Copies of this chain bind each other. A is one copy, B any other.
Amino acid sequence: MSKKQVDFESVLKHIYIELNKEVDRGQVASYIPELENVNPKHFGIHLRPIDDSSIGIGDFCTPFSIQSICKVLSLAHALQLLGADLWKRVGVDPTHEPFNFLSLTEKGNGIPNNPFINAGALVICDMLYSQLENPEKDFLDFVRNLSNDNSIDYDKKVYESEKTNGHRNHATASLLKSLNNLHNDVEQVLDFYYLQCSLRMSCEQLSKSFYFLMNGGKNIVGKEFLSPSQTKRLNAIMLTCGFYNDVGGFAFNVGLPAKSGVGGGIIAIHPKKYCIATWSPGLNQKGNSLLGIKALEMFTTETELSIF
């Protein structure tokens, strides 16, 4: 199938119809009301091949809280600003632990395993906080430029809720501070982190924002954000670290670099071929969108278009 022209539209339609029949859609995240109250019936997919032909199905235009997916954007911006120096303060190793574990040892050097566990994302936030004159505005500008879409914005209600629920993240940030790998004030870094996590996008906006990762670092209007080598490395980290303690299973079943968020979104990349965003708010036991993973597994199986 991979050699002939794949009819993406009928594959997506088939997947959408099949999965929409599913009764078990997992559990919607419940730790803040803004996520808990989302209708679990939402389901959307948006595929953006390298030629920028665009195919959406279901709720692909409805914005949702992208949550941890923002960690990729945050890392991309830090790479832009700091280059390889960034890797002095965060590693590129997969972990076995859930995303919200501290994953730091008190006698260690305070360098988180990778930028996609919370500890690593907080270090990246700390770097950006030091680099940006106006972190809140500047980061939003970066995302809008990257996606070529000025309608993307933070969700201040989500942000406020996250702040009041953040004891675990506070523990992680305090431990990083005690290990000298957080340069700014704990509260300020956490604030900025919650702000980033509160970004809202639809599947269509997500695939637009992440276009640069299948296009060697250039965004949807051809502006270069990262070099091809940086892009390759960022994709590699997504594959080995993007799904926390389900990295092995996701690579095995889907076979694409990808990142998920507890809002139910997933973005996946086939370098030089396509990127695809899915949204279904129900999560599996490891905190990843149940229908989203199924949709992506069906997609790479039916099209034979995985990176493996």
Contact = CB atoms under 8 A, between A and B. Distances in A.
B177 A232 contact: no
Which of A97, A228, A300 has most chain B Cβ within 10 Å? A228
Give chain A's interface secondary structure class: helix
A101 B106 CA distance: 6
B168 A175 contact: yes
A114 to B, nearest CB: 7
A106 B96 contact: no
A91 B253 CA distance: 13
Interface of A: 2, 91-98, 100-102, 106-107, 113-114, 167-168, 170-172, 174-175, 177-178, 186, 228-229, 231-233, 235-237, 239-241, 245, 247-249, 251-253, 255, 257, 271-272, 300-301, 304, 306-308
A98 B107 CA distance: 9
Q: How many copies does the complex hold?
A: 4
Contact of A232 (B106, B107, B247, B308): B308
A240 B236 contact: no
Contact of A240 (B101, B233, B240): B240
Nearest to A229: B301
A93 B96 contact: yes
A253 B236 CA distance: 9
A91 B167 CA distance: 23
Given A171-B174, A172-B171, A249 B93 contact: yes
Contacts of A93: 96, 245, 247-249
Contacts of A171: 102, 170-172, 174-175, 178
A308 B239 contact: yes
A240 B94 contact: yes
Contacts of A228: 304
A237 B252 contact: yes
A233 B106 contact: no
A257 B167 CA distance: 35
B96 A96 contact: yes
A95 to B, nearest CB: 7
Contacts of A241: 248
Contacts of A114: 248
7 contacts: A92-B251, A96-B96, A114-B248, A170-B174, A229-B301, A271-B307, A307-B307
